[in-house]
A and B are shown apart, each in its own frame.
Chain A
Amino acid sequence: NAGVTQTPKFQVLKTGQSMTLQCAQDMNHNSMYWYRQDPGMGLRLIYYSASEGTTDKGEVPNGYNVSRLNKREFSLRLESAAPSQTSVYFCASTPTGASTDTQYFGPGTRLTVL
């Protein structure tokens, strides 16, 4: 199993450009998450999907949209990138039927917005 995979690993955008970050998991997990990690701020939840077909906002959803394409894939879209969105983005998933919110993370995407 590859676990949680993310593409791309690195990306540089100009202000106003759009892009989609891709995430896939092969562990048959129901729930998936998108976080951003900034120095001194820890991990902050952007959006999550409890199951296929549902999405909910997290702590910092402004400027982002998500799509739960199927059970495996959960994408994050920046419609008009801003320098404040420079960050490291992590996707995570939780095992189906888990009684707790233990999450398994992907390797991350480093995004720079100029």
Chain B
Amino acid sequence: QKEVEQDPGPLSVPEGAIVSLNCTYSNSAFQYFMWYRQYSRKGPELLMYTYSSGNKEDGRFTAQVDKSSKYISLFIRDSQPSDSATYLCAMSAGVLGKLIFGQGTTLQVKP
């Protein structure tokens, strides 16, 4: 069993939809949770970072962490075609060199 599971999709939604992207994990020591966005043929870029449980909001993006269920989510409100990308979750217990990535979910937002 992988430490981090992420549905690879692809996920296709109409412009303006609310998008929910999710990851589950098995290691209860994870405390730091990140979402990266990767456009085609580009490097991943850090989108959201959350420490421990709770919500964090940044514009149209909301990251949620539920440590009791070992489940994290990224919500995108009013999705735009420019949000079309692969979204990777990543998590760490704070040990250097031990950032674990999900497989990534490919999102397409259609105009």
Interface residues of B in 18-34 (CB under 8 A from A): 32, 34
Residues on the A chain within 8 Å of B45, using CB: 104-105
Segment from B9-17, B60-68, B74-82, B94-102 that makes contact with A: B94-102
CB distance from B33 to the nearest CB of A (A): 9
- Measured in the bound complex, the distance between the Cα atoms of B100 and A45 in whole Å is 9
Please tell me if the beta carbons of B92 and A108 are within 8 angstroms of each other in the complex.
Answer: no
- Measured in the bound complex, the distance between the Cα atoms of B32 and A50 in whole Å is 18
Does residue A74 face the partner (Cβ distance < 8 Å to B)? no
- Measured in the bound complex, the distance between the Cα atoms of B41 and A45 in whole Å is 19
CB distance from A1 to the nearest CB of B (A): 14
Please tell me if the beta carbons of B94 and A101 are within 8 angstroms of each other in the complex.
Answer: yes
Which of the four size classes fits the interface of chain A? 20 to 34
Interface residues of A in 8-51 (CB under 8 A from B): 31, 33, 40-43, 45, 48, 50
Please tell me if the beta carbons of A42 and B104 are within 8 angstroms of each other in the complex.
Answer: yes
Q: Please, how many residues of chain B have a CB less than 8 angstroms from a CB on the other chain?
A: 24
Cβ contact of B43, chosen from A41, A100, A101, A108, cutoff 8 A = A108
Please tell me if the beta carbons of A100 and B32 are within 8 angstroms of each other in the complex.
Answer: yes
- Measured in the bound complex, the distance between the Cα atoms of B51 and A80 in whole Å is 42
Residues on the B chain within 8 Å of A90, using CB: 43-44
CB distance from A40 to the nearest CB of B (A): 7
Please tell me if the beta carbons of A45 and B97 are within 8 angstroms of each other in the complex.
Answer: yes
Assess A58 versus B103: contact at CB under 8 Å? Given A90-B43, A108-B43: no
- Measured in the bound complex, the distance between the Cα atoms of B51 and A106 in whole Å is 24
- Measured in the bound complex, the distance between the Cα atoms of B43 and A2 in whole Å is 14
Please tell me if the beta carbons of B42 and A108 are within 8 angstroms of each other in the complex.
Answer: yes
Please tell me if the beta carbons of B46 and A42 are within 8 angstroms of each other in the complex.
Answer: no
Closest 7 A/B residue pairs (Cβ): A105-B43, A100-B32, A101-B99, A101-B92, A48-B97, A43-B101, A42-B103
